[in-house]
Structure 1
Amino acid sequence: MLIRFGEPRRFGVPVPEARLRFEAGQRERGGGPGRRLLVVEGEPAFELSFWCGTCPLLFRRLETAKQTLSLEGVQERLTGTLADPGDGGVIEEFGALLPQGDYLPMLLRVEPRLVIPGREGDYFSGEQVATWGIDQFWGLPEYPHTPYYRTFETAVDASAHLYEFVVPMVPPTWNTRERVEEYVTLMAGEAVPTAVAVSTLDVCEPAAGLGHDHSRHWGLTHFLLDGHHKLEAAATAGRPVQLLSLLALAEGLAGAEDCARLPALRAQARSSRATGT
């Protein structure tokens, strides 16, 4: 459910000062950009979808992804229900972690479902294979090297579908069990705490129909800045949690018109894509 969204806002700090930033890796040979990377505390944390837009959607955790970015000063404000993205300077606090740029704030209510790659509900071995087939070199589906949460999906049009993911910076197995249980108890009392993420929108479509469902995949991926214990608790208890998404408008594989459609798409009813075989 979309609770509220704001107008695009410019905030952040100069790139060298940002604790989280987006970078292009260097190709070993030839010109042009290499891998798209999400970098945390100076270390590559995730490999993202490749620039071409015809390769499959991707968020792949790297071996150097070991940091979370929670802010102690805002924990009390985020333990309860955040009524508005601008409440209490939360956007400004987290904006100071991010590279200067234009961001679209969206406040969402999600019911996360934890997914283990290769198991039931895995996007990479399910919907993605239906469109791209398996990797032609490895003979396997893409593998994100991390558990993740699925939260929402809906139709964009007859040939495109929006898939939403919440990606923890570190695996849920790294979470402190006591804190997860504290949030499970809190949510049992109808509390709806708030998590915070920096997000990207990647619109990907294969150049040729490799699978049986040729379609465009809109991947709305939320990388958790704060809320690792809250998301696991919500998934465990089957309870909702709020998510303040700061969509980095210039960092995804989507144009301005696509990004502008997100609030309306996110306000639609949830629906799965029917695919033939």
Structure 2
Amino acid sequence: MIKTGAPRTLGRRASEARLRFDTELQETGGGARRRLLVVDDEPAFELSFYCGTCPFLFRRLEGAREKLSLEGVQERLTGALDDPDEGGVIDAFGTLLPQGEYLPLLLSVEPRLVAPGREGDYFSGEQVITWGVDQFWGLPEYPHTPYYRTFETAVHANAHLYEFVVPMVPPTWNDRERVEEYVTLMGQGTVPTAVAISTLDVCEPAAGMPIDHYQHWGLTHFLLDGHHKLEAAATAGRPVHLLSLLALGEGLAGAEDCARLPTLRARPRSDRSDRA
């Protein structure tokens, strides 16, 4: 954690914003089917289900096929921001967002790129220990995208915070020359800044479910700007700054949980096996 700002109202009406949170309804009966992050009126990510007892989730859908960088602020983000309000970046990216309350968090992250089903994958690792595999498919949840793991720490004895940075498009779509440019800059000491819209989901399995019953606090940062920076940082083993605009009221977490994030994010990193 570098710095946190005060909650503020940002964004445009849903009909004018490029991103919004939405609920897909059943064709019959009208009940909720999927909780979604929508980009340009197309479902881009399926998010954790509303019940709060289903496994934590972000799953890339067909609508996630475009980055959301803003040319007017790219030069300011080449180097490190030292304050969330520096350079008007929050207001600039607020033009992409749906109207709502956001908590600005300026973080330092050291990303590690993870592929689903491979070493370090949360969905086939920590999540399976708590929920087991999907009862229908007999497989772990599958996010349909590589993603970055950046931080985790204990919330309390029965809860753990996991942090993820999720690209809008897979790293294989990145321009190789731009990634290498950032690798070089980072090697010279530059710490660039990425920007994300974020959610906090607190999920806990129903009573009587598998092995290790505890809450999973999933802090998910969906990248708006910084796809090349995150891949370069993961390649070079270097840090980047991440300006997170946490969408208050859009995740599966109460106001008190969201208010705890700055303190939790300032703790030392510890994985679940470190618990007493």
* TM class, shorter-length: over 0.9
Name stretches of at least 5 consecutive residues in structure 2 with no aligned partner.
Answer: none
Aligned residues, how many?
A: 275
Structure-2 separation of matches of 1:250 and 1:258? 11
Per-residue deviation at 1:26?
1.3
Partner of 2:89: 90
Letter in 2 for 1:83: D
Contact 1:202 1:252 in 2 (8 A): yes
2:15 aligned counterpart, secondary structure: helix
2:160 aligned counterpart, secondary structure: strand
Partner of 2:74: 75
1:232 aligned counterpart, secondary structure: helix
Relative to 1, partners in 2 of residues 1:148 and 1:265: Cα closer, same or farther, differing over 3 Å? same
Mapping 1:139-158, distance limit 5 Å: 139-158=138-157
Per-residue deviation at 1:235?
0.1
Mapping 1:1-277, distance limit 5 Å: 2-274=1-273
Per-residue deviation at 1:68?
1.0
Per-residue deviation at 1:115?
0.1
Letter in 1 for 2:221: H
Normalised by the length of structure 1, the TM-score is: 0.98
Deviations 1:114-150 (A, max 9, x none): 0000000000000000000000000000000000000
Deviations 1:227-266 (A, max 9, x none): 0000000000000000000000011000000000000000
Structure-2 separation of matches of 1:233 and 1:83? 20
Contact 2:38 2:63 in 1 (8 A): no
Name stretches of at least 5 consecutive residues in structure 1 with no aligned partner.
Answer: none
Deviations 1:83-113 (A, max 9, x none): 1100111000000100000000000000000
Identity, in percent, stands at 78
1:79 aligned counterpart, secondary structure: coil
Letter in 2 for 1:115: V
Structure-2 separation of matches of 1:37 and 1:275? 33
Structure-2 separation of matches of 1:175 and 1:12? 28
Question: What is the alpha-carbon root mean square deviation over aligned residues?
Answer: 1.1
Contact 1:197 1:222 in 2 (8 A): yes
Relative to 1, partners in 2 of residues 1:78 and 1:112: Cα closer, same or farther, differing over 3 Å? same
Contact 1:132 1:209 in 2 (8 A): no
Per-residue deviation at 1:7?
1.0
Contact 2:167 2:227 in 1 (8 A): yes
2:250 aligned counterpart, secondary structure: coil
Normalised by the length of structure 2, the TM-score is: 0.98
Contact 2:162 2:218 in 1 (8 A): yes
Contact 1:41 1:67 in 2 (8 A): no
Deviations 1:148-201 (A, max 9, x none): 000000000000000000000000000000000000000001110000000000
More displaced stretch, 57-66 vs 117-126: 57-66
Contact 2:192 2:240 in 1 (8 A): yes
Structure-1 separation of matches of 2:3 and 2:17? 27
1:151 aligned counterpart, secondary structure: strand
Structure-1 separation of matches of 2:163 and 2:215? 14
Per-residue deviation at 1:275?
8.5
